[in-house]
Amino acid sequence: MTTKLKQALIGGIIGTAVMTIVMMIAPMMGMPKMSPPELLSMMIGFPVLVGWIMHFMIGIIFAIAYALFFINLVKKVSNNILKGALFGMAVFIFAQIMMAIMGMMFPMPPVEGSMMLMMVGSLLGHVIFGITVAQFVKEQA
């Protein structure tokens, strides 16, 4: 396994963990409850453990995409935090598109709380994920 893929694997796991922790404490700051693993498991009708596995696998896949593709798209951006934030925004947009598509195929659980606050919280979580991944995946690995 190449160094860049190792960095992406570690960055994906840690980035997903950090994002998940932020989403778990968000309700303590007035944000709606957000749990991607529960959402995934409810949509496909599998136990929550499967949702957790899927959530981390998706994070790892996104981190690999950052290492192999996205980092080359933002070569002119010198600030690593900004690279990560841009990546997090791209992941957020992609995730929203995928959730809309999945919502056509699987039943979506009802939204609890403000949809706008949930979107803001999700964007924040994905930006934190992207910044974390960018800290682990080095440009010249």
- pLDDT at res. 9: 96
Res 103: pLDDT: 77
Contact 19, 132 (CB under 8 A): yes
Proportion of the chain above pLDDT 90, given as a percent: 60
DSSP one-letter code for 113 = S
Does 140 score more than 70 pLDDT? no
Closest CA to 74 of 124, 19, 131: 131
Give the confidence band of 141 by pLDDT, cuts at 50, 70, 90: very low
| Residue-range domain boundaries for the chain | 3-136
Quick check: 11 and 130 in contact, CB under 8 A? Answer: no
pLDDT of residue 81: 95
Are 133 and 87 spatial neighbours (Cβ–Cβ below 8 Å)?
Answer: yes
Q: Are 136 and 10 in contact (CB under 8 A)?
A: yes
For the segment 60-108, what is each residue's pLDDT rounded down to a tens digit?
A: 999 999 999 999 999 899 899 999 999 999 999 999 998 888 778 877 7
Q: Does pTM top 0.85 for this prediction?
A: yes
Q: How far is CA 12 from CA 3, 15, 26, 57, in A?
A: 14, 5, 21, 8
